[in-house]
Amino acid sequence: GAVVSQHPSWVICKSGTSVKIECRSLDFQATTMFWYRQFPKQSLMLMATSNEGSKATYEQGVEKDKFLINHASLTLSTLTVTSAHPEDSSFYICSETGRGTDTQYFGPGTRLTVL
């Protein structure tokens, strides 16, 4: 399957700062990327879907001004958590699919802790 990397794997930041998480497709042209967050012992919650070169589509209840998503190329998508607060602490996971397929390949996740 496709290989997806995320960076950083974990980050600790102060409340009010912004954090950028990168999701890279290493061997695959990811036409669509997904961003999820996962709370402890829970399933994944889809935050947004982004297609290369287009604006991201956010799920209901997800603040687009707080969670900025950029999908500038077929191999890179970024999620920026702006003005982070402790309640934003979570495990963030990206995934990708190629054109015409619905199989998602997941990154290893980023653990964000906001103090």
Give me the residues that bind another protein (CB under 8 A), please. Answer: 1, 4, 6, 32, 34, 41-44, 46, 49, 91, 93, 95, 97, 102-109, 111
71/76 Cα distance (integer angstroms): 6
Return the SS3 of 98: coil
Q: Phi, psi at residue 88, to the nearest 5°?
A: -85, -10
What the block records as the tokens of 115 is 């103090």
Residue 3 or 18: which CB sits closer to another protein?
Answer: 3
The residues, ordered by sequence, that sit 6+ positions from 42 with a Cβ below 8 Å of its Cβ are: none
Residue 46 or 82: which CB sits closer to another protein?
Answer: 46
Closest CA relative to residue 35, chosen from 1, 66, 12: 66
Q: How far is the CB of 1 from another protein (least distance, A)?
A: 6
Residue 82 or 91: which CB sits closer to another protein?
Answer: 91
Let me know: does 99 contact 31? Beta carbons within 8 Å: yes
Residue 75 or 95: which CB sits closer to another protein?
Answer: 95
Q: How far is the CB of 106 from another protein (least distance, A)?
A: 4
Q: How far is the CB of 107 from another protein (least distance, A)?
A: 5
Q: How far is the CB of 83 from another protein (least distance, A)?
A: 26
